Chain A
Amino acid sequence: MLITIKKIIFIGFFILSTPSIAQKITTIKMPSGEDIELRIFPAKGNVLLLGFPCDFGKSKNEESVAKSLSEDGLEVWMPDILSTYMLPKVRSSYAKIKNEDLVRIVQKAIKTGKDIYLIASGAGTQLALRAAAKWHEKYQNSDGLKGLILLFPRLNSAEPIPGVKPKYVSAVGTTKKPIMILEGGRTPNKWGLKHLSMKLSAGGSKVISKVIPDIRGYFFKRKDPNRTEDMVTSELSGLIKVSLFYLQKGILE
């Protein structure tokens, strides 16, 4: 009887497991010696969205959004960065990712010949900013990297102090690439958007920020989404396409 139950559970694992829905999984050899697993959602279009830091199983909805984007002709690459280094998904982990590794990932995407846009959310946005800056430092004459989309960026370097403007991680203000920021209307962070935009543009970036009304930060990762958040989550790929439109058309004023 016990063996039968074990068998059922064992078979159940295979039936009910949720493997990645990426159409292609490959690895990139990093200068640090690690192999980063890369999930690819291929598309024939000329745009490639490169996500940071991704990590399969650690973010809700990311694969369904990537699939939806690829069906609309936008290729999506999702490198599983943190798990490669066995790092937890916490802020302090991001500082441990080596610049050379980030540059290698971006350059691998550049080699496809497509227009590359980096995309990240929350504290992970610092990785995208660092990747853009360090890649540009190394490949100054290359033009493949076109911009960044930052979803609900959390870039404070320390706990907020009431009455004092926030300080940001060192990656802020280091890239010249155009930046699009999306922020929730129901988060105090929206009050810091102007200041953050100013700091981001210090490196030469053109920055545009949009507030999505009635949603909280990280809405697409929440376990208790309200009706608006549910709706916006289902439209997240659309929001990303709108952001790309802004970046492509240079509507940044």
Chain B
Amino acid sequence: MNNHQNAIFHQITNFLKTPLALLGVDLKNFQFNKICHFANHPYLCKGLRMNKIFLALLLIITLNTNAVELKKYTGLIKKPTISLPDLNGKIHTLSQYKGNIVLVQFWATYCPPCIKEMPSMNSLQSKLKKADIPFKILAINMAESKAEVEKFVKIVNPEFTILMNEDGSSIQQWQVFAAPSNFLINKQGEIIYTLFGGVEWNSKEIIKKITQLSKF
């Protein structure tokens, strides 16, 4: 395909996008093929059909890869600390949870995956409690105000402990640069696994790994 054809293709798509949207024409059912034919670029039409197939395949692949896995922790700080207040002002330290498997999560109200996964965190905690596995969740908010977090909590209803870190000190100590960032800590207070991104926490794989961790 030469550069002239590239330019035509570019102009056609841009030319159509806005007016079609403004006219309320269904973009999905609109006959791009005819326009491509009109422009005497049949292989561009083929390209468009191929793009649809490619996008569908990509979606399937993406959905499969969304089954994010816990990964072995590779950071330098093996036994980090926490000393943060919950929404009632009560201070929580990591050492007071010794003997439990602890999921430490760094999250923010503006982070869509954080919001989406919280119900599955409730479910995980409840399932492990029923299985008599000592497990706690400490969800550390990433330096937002108490008012913002309280408003969020009323909507999402987390059944685990929310900790506040308004000055961001723990975010820096734990080397967190993205949300949600998750750390799975063993009964001795050492980070064993990490996980970045939203996930269904009550999945069989995750429950299996936590159950295995609880045996040591």
On A, residues with C-beta under 8 Å from B are 9, 12-13, 16-18, 33-35, 37, 56-57, 80, 83-86, 159-166, 186-189, 191-192, 195, 216
Please, which residues of chain B bring their CB within 8 A of the CB of A165?
175, 177
Q: Give Cα A144–Cα B76 distance, bound, in whole angstroms.
A: 44
> Which residue on chain B has the smallest CB distance to residue A194?
B172
A-B contact list, 9 entries, CB within 8 Å:
A12-B19, A16-B22, A17-B18, A56-B10, A86-B9, A160-B181, A162-B195, A163-B183, A188-B111
B196 close to chain A: CB less than 8 A: yes
A214 to chain B, nearest CB (A): 10
Q: Report B83-121 residues with CB < 8 Å from chain A CB.
A: 106, 108, 110-111
What 7 A-B pairs are tightest by C-beta distance, nearest first?
A163-B75, A160-B178, A162-B181, A192-B177, A162-B194, A57-B14, A188-B179
Which B residues lie at the A interface, using CB under 8 A? 1, 3, 6-7, 9-10, 13-19, 22-23, 25, 71, 73-77, 106, 108, 110-111, 142, 168, 171-172, 174-179, 181-183, 191, 194-197
Chain B residue with Cβ nearest A80: B10
Q: Are A84 and B3 closer than 8 Å at their CB atoms? A: yes
Inter-chain CA distance A9–B26, complex, in Å, is 13
Residue pair A163, B175 in contact (C-beta under 8 Å): yes
A162 to B182 CA separation, bound complex (whole angstroms)? 7
Contact A163:B174 (CB < 8 A) given known A86-B1, A191-B168? yes
Which of B17, B178, B194 is within 8 Å of A57, CB to CB? B17
For the residues of B in contact with A, the DSSP-based class is mixed
Q: Which residues of the partner chain B approach A189 to less than 8 Å between Cβ atoms?
A: 177-178
Across the interface, B108 reaches (CB within 8 A) one of A34, A83, A188, namely A188
Q: Are B75 and A17 in touch, CB under 8 angstroms?
A: no
A159-B66 Cα distance, complex, nearest whole Å: 13
Output the nearest chain B residue to A188 by Cβ-Cβ distance.
Answer: B179
Q: Across the interface, which residues of A come within 8 angstroms of B110, CB to CB?
A: 186-187, 216
Residue from A9, A33, A57, A162 in contact with B196 in the complex, judged by beta carbons closer than 8 Å? A162
Whether A13 and B15, one on each chain, are in contact in the complex, defined by CB atoms closer than 8 angstroms, is yes
- A115–B75 Cα distance when bound, in Å, is 44
- Bound-state Cα–Cα, A128 to B198, Å: 31
Other CB < 8 Å A-B pairs besides A57-B14, A161-B196, A188-B106, 17 of them? A12-B22, A12-B23, A16-B18, A17-B18, A34-B6, A35-B7, A56-B10, A56-B14, A84-B3, A159-B197, A160-B177, A162-B75, A162-B106, A162-B176, A162-B194, A188-B142, A216-B110
Residues in B with CB closer than 8 Å to A57 are 13-14, 17
Shortest Cβ distance from B116 into chain A, in angstroms?
A: 16
Residue of B10, B108, B142, B196 contacting most chain A CB atoms (<10 Å): B10
Residue from A33, A37, A86, A191 in contact with B176 in the complex, judged by beta carbons closer than 8 Å:
A191
A191 touches B172 (CB 8 A): yes
Chain B's nearest CB lies how many Å from the CB of A142?
Answer: 28
Q: Residues of A contacting B15 with CB < 8 Å?
A: 13, 17
Are A191 and B171 in touch, CB under 8 angstroms? yes
Give the complex CA separation of A37 and B106 in angstroms. 44
Q: Bound complex: CA of A166 vs CA of B177, how far in Å?
A: 8
Residue of B with least CB distance to A164: B75
A159→B65 CA distance, assembly (Å)? 13
A9:B23 contact, CB within 8 angstroms: yes
Set of chain A residues within 8 Å of B25, measured between Cβ atoms: 9
What is the CA–CA distance of A195 and B175 in the complex, to the nearest angstrom?
10
The reply to whether B183 and A162 contact each other, CB–CB distance below 8 Å, is yes
Interface centre among A56, A85, A191 (most CB of B within 10 A): A191
A16-B19, A161-B196, A162-B195 as given contacts; A191 in contact with B177, CB under 8 Å: yes
